[in-house]
Structure 1
Amino acid sequence: MAGINLTPSDTSTFILMGISGLESAHEWISIPFCISYIIGLLGNVTFLFVVGKEQTLHKPMYLLFCMLSLTDIATSTLVVPKALCIFWFNLKDITVGGCLTQMFFLHTISIMQSAVLVIMAFDRYVAICSPLRYASILTNGRIAKLGLVGFLRAVLFILPLPLLLSRQPFCANHIIPNTYCEHITVVKMSCGDITVNKMYGLVIAFVVIGLDLPLIVLSYGLIIRAVLRIPSTKAHQKALNTCTAHMFVMLMYYTPGLFFILTNRFGQGIAPYIHIILSNLYLFLPPMLNPFIYGVKSKELRDKVGKYTCRS
């Protein structure tokens, strides 16, 4: 019978090493992790509370923001608490089942976020290019249905990843040089034929980005063309101002994500801890900044938040 002690070679356990190469700095690294998680959690929960309480904010645009806030909370909660356990208490063990589950939810949420960003771009396109038809085209019910389609797409795309990996034999060395279980990292630990796993993961990444990103660029290209046809400079500024927050959020999601995917597969000369830091920034930086971006760009939202936070 197998021993009951959990070791790095135990077939039921992986070892998450944190930020490999910077182990001596883990306590210092934990500070921005913890602060960003608390700020992001408070900001997103506050946003959801205010939108839920205020009937005037029950609009498609704020419903989309709520979807993004929920995915932000889920993403950071899946990663940061475990990372802090590694940094503070040296609790590095994670079961194979737990690792595959974390991987499934993280990648599902990531694709869901991409779908929400596409819907947000379409929302701004209709609001600026067909404002008189906006209320009839984008109702709350239709936004909810589009969100559900995006969620189902994410689940169907990602579900094969943990199923394929669960059939793979893993080598004796179960050490993962990261704070969480990411698909390509877990794939590389297998002793079996990983060609299908690697190809499927790469295809999914490029299909999602190759489909969603062009749709977003097309939407904003049409928006800019429509805005430039408006004779009033003030109208130009007002129209573009409504899109600035969305564009900034999209840059935060896609730029680090694309860079991480490309460097992880083709940037062999880059130090390993650079890959790990980038992958973590990609997961916990947007959840911290998004509520502030919405608040700065939406006076209506600022006023409602102030109504609750400034009560005596």
Structure 2
Amino acid sequence: MKNFSAQNISFTDFKLNGFYSLEEWRPFLFIPFFIMFILSIFANSILIYFIISQRSLHSPMYVLIGILAVGDFILPILFLPHMLLSFLFNWNGISLTGCLIQMFGLHFLGALHSTVLLWMAIDHYFAICRPLYYHKYMELSNFLKFVVFPVIRNAAFVMSVVILAGKLSFCETNVIDHCFCEHMALVQLACGDISINNLVGLLTVFLVPSADVLIIIASYVVIFISVFKSGKGHMKAINTCITHLIVISVTLILAMTSFLSYRTRNNFSSDSHVFISTMYILFPSCFNPIIYGVRTTEIRQTFLKFINNVKVFPKSKENMDVALNIMH
């Protein structure tokens, strides 16, 4: 616990200090992170467009992929522009209010990510293990009712974390050793008691992403047992789940590494920790749309059809008729 005198003034403005040990090499980080930012915006925009515009992609699974893409589109916008400007021009200042808003957005969308993966696992469960009940429980109107409770749960826990962080006093330093306002990166600067913040933070992790992951694991255990017992079409069913498992594994490894690095003794340097935290947010945003676009047959076929149609530029009435035949 840090000592705090009431005479001290609490900081209301902070400096994000991530990767500063790189010194003169720091501006070069702009290039890879800018490329990832553009990739994230472009890929998720394309995926959202296809899912909205194609009626064949309006089933629950594709709606979930669309929700994931919307989250992955918004998430980098919350912190990367500020981070990129910091690399180039050393514009690293942020107010406490701006920091708390950024914190809420980052952690709420991160929680939404794990919850969407949970919804996908449930969709796979009904499609493979309970196909006769799929349309009853996964009809869009019924499905949206189920979505409400996890979203309220996520918002309540994340809001609690942010409100408690906003009540802290910061009297010793205003330098956040990070590129964005992650919860523990800000809270560990407080000069008062942060035991409640740690407790609520741990509860949030265990009752949101950890609970989601446990249910996901249980659902896939049931799916695999059911598939291998049936002995029919098991490779097709497993292939359907591989995309989902890839995304879950990468996200979970990065998230847990970032989380544990704050709470355990380790040999991670400050830059290593910032890099892992950044990748936890940015990697899924960049590669989720590519993974789902390549691995999901319907989305891949829709994209290829779109590309083929764009390549057709008829110059005569005869060519126009040929093009229309191709499109239909």
> Could you tell me the TM-score, scaled by structure 2's length?
0.88
2:236 corresponds to which residue?
238
Q: Deviations over 1:243-277 (max 9, x none)?
A: 11111111122111011111221034321111110
1:161 corresponds to which residue?
161
1:274 corresponds to which residue?
272
- Aligned AA (1:264): Y
Cα distance in 2 for partners of 1:293, 1:227 equals 24
Length, aligned pairs only: 302
Task: Give the superposition deviation at 1:283.
Answer: 0.5
Cα distance in 1 for partners of 2:271, 2:142 equals 43
Q: Deviations over 1:39-83 (max 9, x none)?
A: 111111111101111111100000010111111112111121111
Q: Establish whether residue 190 from structure 1 lines up as the match of residue 177 from structure 2.
A: no
Aligned with 2:208: secondary structure? Answer: helix
Cα distance in 2 for partners of 1:298, 1:196 equals 44
Contact residue 115 and residue 209 of structure 2 kept, 8 A:
no
Structure 1 residues 61, 284: closer, same or farther in 2, change over 3 A? Answer: same
Aligned with 2:230: secondary structure? Answer: coil
Aligned pairs for 1:264-303 within 5 A: 264-303=262-301
How many percent identity over aligned positions? 32
Cα distance in 2 for partners of 1:252, 1:71 equals 17
Contact residue 114 and residue 212 of structure 1 kept, 8 A:
yes
1:41 corresponds to which residue?
41
> Could you tell me the TM-score, scaled by structure 1's length?
0.92
1:305 corresponds to which residue?
303
Q: Deviations over 1:96-118 (max 9, x none)?
A: 10001100111111111111111
Cα distance in 1 for partners of 2:177, 2:307 equals 41
Q: Establish whether residue 206 from structure 1 lines up as the match of residue 206 from structure 2.
A: yes
Cα distance in 1 for partners of 2:23, 2:101 equals 26
**Greater Cα shift, 138-147 or 290-299:** 138-147
1:74 corresponds to which residue?
74
**Greater Cα shift, 243-252 or 202-211:** 202-211
| Runs of 4+ displaced beyond 4 Å | none
Contact residue 18 and residue 178 of structure 1 kept, 8 A:
yes
Task: Give the superposition deviation at 1:10.
Answer: 8.3
Structure 1 residues 241, 131: closer, same or farther in 2, change over 3 A? Answer: same
Cα distance in 2 for partners of 1:300, 1:166 equals 45
Cα distance in 2 for partners of 1:286, 1:84 equals 19
Task: Give the superposition deviation at 1:290.
Answer: 0.6
- Aligned AA (2:278): N
Structure 1 residues 108, 158: closer, same or farther in 2, change over 3 A? Answer: same
- Aligned AA (2:86): I
Cα distance in 2 for partners of 1:22, 1:140 equals 50
Cα distance in 2 for partners of 1:249, 1:52 equals 22
**Greater Cα shift, 258-267 or 44-53:** 258-267
Contact residue 44 and residue 69 of structure 1 kept, 8 A:
yes
Aligned with 1:169: secondary structure? Answer: coil
Cα distance in 2 for partners of 1:202, 1:24 equals 37
2:87 corresponds to which residue?
87
Cα distance in 1 for partners of 2:287, 2:151 equals 23
Aligned with 1:229: secondary structure? Answer: helix
Task: Give the superposition deviation at 1:168.
Answer: 1.4
Contact residue 126 and residue 134 of structure 1 kept, 8 A:
yes
Aligned with 2:267: secondary structure? Answer: coil
Contact residue 17 and residue 176 of structure 2 kept, 8 A:
yes
**TM-align CA RMSD:** 1.6
Structure 2: gaps of 5 or more residues: 1-8, 312-328
Contact residue 168 and residue 192 of structure 1 kept, 8 A:
yes
